[in-house]
Amino acid sequence: MVEGSVRLKSEFLEVEISPQGAEMVALRDRHGHDLLWNGDPAFWTGRAPLLFPIVGRLPNDQLLHEGQVYCMAQHGFARRRAFTLEEASEQVVRLALHDDEETRKQYPFAFSLTVTYRLAEATLTIEAEVANTGEGELPASFGFHPAFRWPLPYGGTRDDHRLVFEKAEAEAIHRPVGGLLSTATEPNPAVDAILEPTDALFERDALIFLDLRSHHVRFGVPGEPGLEVAFPDMPHLGLWSKPGAPFLCIEPWAGYASPEDGPAEFIDKPGLSLLAPGATKRFAMAIRWLPDVGRLIGPHEVEG
């Protein structure tokens, strides 16, 4: 168990969450197989960071608001902050982060961010609620960034794995350029709703699906246990790995990096949610373990 983490446990899954970044740091099936990447620094130290208040980068890592410049690194600061543990049981863990002097040096807005992990049988639901606790409009994005083992610890090689979309995806995709969203596009690599992940796909960084029809994907080797990642209210999806790295990030987003030719003023940035004073917004995803994926392309079922 990772030091300081809290644990959720069901008949099917075991989950560990660290207060640092409110990050999931372990996900194991009922046989003890690790499904989540372990943060090996030889490849990438992340495991499942939460992206807030931005997804991706800002131009020159600078936020411009009302004539003032604030420096904020890629994906924001939440993943580097210690959250307060508000609730912990075998089924529910809730953590919270609030603005303070340090956050306002990067992001001059009042907010609260509450992250709740719920485990019910074979499904882990992660819900983030952003609240505007200030007197002005709150511009924010949120994203999930879980890295799953590739290959998963069952049968088959990395080349045997498939990512199966809920629906056929034909819209062109984008890539990051220096961390910003490219204005250029390229053909969608999914064929008949199936994407074959390869190292070559990630030689030019992540795949960014902005115009997404699907609300869930399934990952694994057909005929072997696998995972379903569902994101009913998240409009975008990023896929990322490093060539040769034994993980694949499946990233539901509500927001994306600043476009190459985007506006300078932060509040005009595409992909932001704008919350009125006192308003809240929910962002959620679910990870479901599929012990029998003879039907990787089978019908979608929602659990508990």
- pLDDT tens sequence across 160-170: 999 999 999 99
Counted domains in the chain: 1
Report if residue 257 sits inside a domain: yes
Specify if 303 maps to a domain: no
Report the alpha-carbon distance of residue 71 to residue 144 in Å, rounded.
Answer: 22
Question: Residue 293 has what pLDDT?
Answer: 52
Alpha-carbon distance values, 73 to 27, 63, 123, 239, 258 (Å): 27, 10, 32, 20, 13
Q: Which of 88, 253, 90 is nearest to 176 (CA)?
A: 253
- Residue 296's pLDDT is 47
pLDDT digit string, tens, across residues 150-193: 999 998 999 999 999 999 999 999 999 999 999 999 999 999 99
Tell me if 304 is assigned to some domain. Answer: no
Per-residue pLDDT band for 207 (boundaries 50, 70, 90) equals very high
State residue 168's pLDDT score.
Answer: 96
pLDDT at 2 over 80: no
pLDDT class of 1 with cuts at 50, 70, 90: low
Judge whether 302 lies within some domain. no
Model confidence pLDDT, tens digit, residues 99-139: 999 999 999 999 999 999 999 999 999 999 999 999 999 99
Q: Residue 216's domain is classified under what CATH number?
A: 2.70.98.10
Q: Is the pLDDT of residue 303 over 60?
A: no
Summarised one tens digit per residue, pLDDT across range 210-221 is 999 999 999 999
What region, left, alpha or beta, does residue 146 occupy, with left being phi > 0 and alpha being psi -120 to 50 degrees? beta
- Each residue's pLDDT tens digit, 219-233: 999 989 999 999 999
The rounded radius of gyration (Å) of the Cα atoms in the chain is 19
Mean pLDDT of the chain: 94
Residue-range definition of the domain harbouring residue 13: 6-290
12-64 pLDDT, tens digit per residue, is 999 999 999 999 999 999 999 999 999 999 999 999 999 999 999 999 999 99
Which residue, among 71, 79, 32, has the nearest Cα to 52 in the 3D structure?
A: 79
- Predicted confidence at residue 175, as pLDDT, reads 98
pLDDT of res. 304: 31
User: pLDDT value at position 292?
Assistant: 67
Residue 220 lies in a domain: yes
What is the predicted pLDDT for the residue at 276? Answer: 98
- Name the 3-class secondary structure at 144: strand
* CA atoms 101, 77, 180, 253: torsion sign: negative
**151 preceded by cis ω (within 30°)?**
yes
Please state, in angstroms and as integers, the Cα–Cα distance from residue 96 to each residue in 8, 37, 72, 119, following that order. Answer: 17, 24, 20, 18
52 with 142: CB under 8 angstroms?
Answer: yes
pLDDT band at 298 (very low <50, low <70, confident <90, very high): very low
- Residue 132, domain member (yes or no): yes
Q: Is the pLDDT of residue 4 over 90?
A: no
User: Could you give the CA distance from residue 146 to residue 107 in angstroms, rounded to a whole number?
Assistant: 24
* Cβ neighbours for 268, distance < 8 A, ≥ 6 positions apart: none
Residue 302 has pLDDT above 50, yes or no: no
Q: Is residue 232 part of a domain?
A: yes
Share of the chain above pLDDT 90, in %: 93
What's the confidence (pLDDT) of residue 291?
Answer: 84
- Residue 50's nearest CA partner among 132, 119, 112, 115 is 115
Q: Is 217 among the domain residues?
A: yes
In contact, 2 and 17? CB cutoff 8 Å: no
